[in-house]
């Protein structure tokens, strides 16, 4: 048969730097044309393989692919779609291999988080059973920073930088009006189970009394009385109170403060907004004037203020993924290994997907202060290097120049349709 092809897919929520990883995968594959003829990208993630709806990246120029490095979003479309276990739905995996076989796809690069690593692991296992071995490499990506083994996850550093800066700037705004207006400002950030992003807000404060005055982590059960006491103390002492809260803040019984009662495609609880819940608690019990903001998609799409370290690491894991695959390794993921803090140095290692799939790395208790409302020095030492450096995109007439791809479809070779 002809030269081997590769399949690359983006999964789950996108980041400011996931396209830098895509750029690295495609550029590295192009430098190894003897082994990889083409990289087919899944339109809307893994759904692109299941429905044989793939994109021919060879139709894009080198300059266009290079421009992915500074373009946010998911260039080929992403999806929240979790493949069930092989026993529950073997047909999905058989369909994947059918499509891979039809297009001679021997390399599978899956760029995502915990659930995505599980899928990559399962595909690597069943491809052997179906007599069409596929080299499967997971590539880390998640703003939540909750993948185990790797020191940190590409995508997190830029979100951490955005949240730290936003907290600092909003605090200055609130302080300037605190005497006659807003007393409490609440910033809601992402992080369903792990408080890494909320912790990043703590980087805004350096001296004692600096905002944020309160950080609410998913790892620390919400105590209403302790929370209200701290808000009151902050307002009385500093004239205002800035709060950073993770969307996953919860009560001692495990129930989210803002649970909406619905679940997403991965089976995770859909959260309905914790900031207004907290604001209402403050209003009813203390009567302070408040404002709140929900960082939402802004925090994960802010490429204009991306961390230079994050961009470099996002590219590095994509480049390493291709090299690892060409070395014949499968069922693994490139991980970031921290060598030192001062100076900050790191390298890429390799870890088996079995140690990563469906596992979460929580914010360690030693990173949270004894009172549960702020970060420790060790947490600051961990976080600080990850937000360092600026990597601005090119600008034109005051706006960043982001790239749009042609996304030319690959001709289909299978007559049967697959309904997801």
Rounded to whole angstroms, the Cα distance separating 126 from 160 reads 37
Burial of 301 from C-beta contacts in 10 A (0-12 / 13-18 / 19+):
middle
Question: How far, rounded to the nearest angstrom, does the alpha carbon of residue 308 sit from its chain's CA centroid?
Answer: 16
Rounded to whole angstroms, the Cα distance separating 306 from 314 reads 11
CB–CB of 351/151 below 8 Å? no
Structural Rg of the chain based on CA atoms: 22
Catalytic residue status for 144: yes
Task: List strand residue ranges (DSSP E) for 258-326, in order.
Answer: 259-263, 269-271, 290-294
Q: Which listed residue (115, 118, 144, 391) is catalytic? A: 144
Rounded to whole angstroms, the Cα distance separating 341 from 97 reads 43
Rounded to whole angstroms, the Cα distance separating 356 from 118 reads 8
Widest CA span in the chain: 75
Give the DSSP letter string of 131-149: T---EEEEEE--TT---SS
Structure tokens at 415: 């007559």
User: What are the φ/ψ torsions at residue 45 (nearest 5 degrees)?
Assistant: 70, -140
Rounded to whole angstroms, the Cα distance separating 76 from 94 reads 23
Rounded to whole angstroms, the Cα distance separating 97 from 264 reads 26
The answer for 398, left when phi > 0, alpha when psi is -120 to 50, beta otherwise, is left
Other C-beta atoms lying within 10 Å of the C-beta of residue 137: 30
CB–CB of 380/205 below 8 Å? no
Rounded to whole angstroms, the Cα distance separating 320 from 350 reads 9
Active site residues: 144
């Amino acid at each position: 048969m002809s030269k081997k092809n590769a399949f690359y897919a983006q999964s789950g929520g996108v980041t400011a730097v996931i396209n830098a990883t895509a750029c690295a995968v495609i550029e590295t594959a192009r430098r190894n044309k003897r082994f990889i003829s083409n990289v087919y990208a899944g339109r809307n993630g893994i759904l692109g393989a299941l429905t044989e709806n793939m994109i021919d990246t060879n139709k894009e120029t080198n300059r266009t692919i290079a421009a992915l490095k500074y373009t946010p979003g998911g260039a080929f479309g992403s999806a929240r779609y979790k493949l069930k276990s092989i026993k529950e739905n073997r047909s999905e995996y058989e369909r994947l291999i059918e499509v891979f076989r039809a297009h001679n796809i021997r390399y599978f690069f899956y760029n995502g988080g915990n659930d995505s690593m599980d899928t990559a692991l399962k595909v690597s296992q069943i491809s052997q059973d179906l007599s069409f071995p596929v080299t499967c490499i997971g590539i880390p990506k998640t703003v939540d920073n909750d993948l185990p083994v790797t020191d940190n996850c590409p995508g997190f550093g830029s979100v951490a930088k955005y949240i730290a800066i936003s907290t600092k700037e909003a605090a200055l705004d609130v302080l300037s009006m605190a005497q006659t207006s807003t007393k409490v400002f609440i910033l809601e950030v992402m992080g369903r189970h792990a408080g890494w992003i909320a912790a990043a807000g703590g980087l805004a404060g350096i001296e004692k009394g600096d905002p944020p005055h309160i950080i609410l982590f998913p790892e620390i059960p919400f105590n209403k009385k302790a929370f209200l006491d701290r808000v009151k103390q902050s307002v009385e002492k500093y004239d205002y109170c800035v709060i950073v809260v993770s969307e996953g803040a919860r009560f001692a019984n495990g129930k989210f403060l803002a649970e909406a009662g619905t679940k997403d495609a991965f089976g995770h609880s859909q959260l309905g907004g914790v900031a207004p819940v907290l604001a209402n608690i403050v209003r009813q019990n203390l009567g302070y004037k408040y404002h709140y903001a929900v960082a939402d998609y802004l925090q994960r799409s802010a490429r204009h203020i991306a961390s230079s370290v994050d961009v470099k690491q996002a590219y590095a894991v994509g480049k390493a993924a291709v090299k690892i695959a060409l070395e014949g390794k499968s069922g693994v993921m490139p991980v970031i290994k921290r060598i030192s803090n001062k100076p900050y140095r790191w390298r890429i290692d390799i870890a088996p997907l079995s140690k990563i799939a469906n596992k979460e790395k929580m914010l360690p208790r030693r990173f949270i202060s004894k009172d549960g409302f702020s970060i420790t020095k060790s947490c600051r030492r961990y976080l600080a290097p990850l937000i360092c450096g600026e990597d601005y995109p090119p600008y034109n007439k005051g706006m960043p120049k982001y790239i749009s791809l042609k996304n030319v479809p690959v001709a289909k070779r299978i007559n049967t349709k697959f309904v997801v």
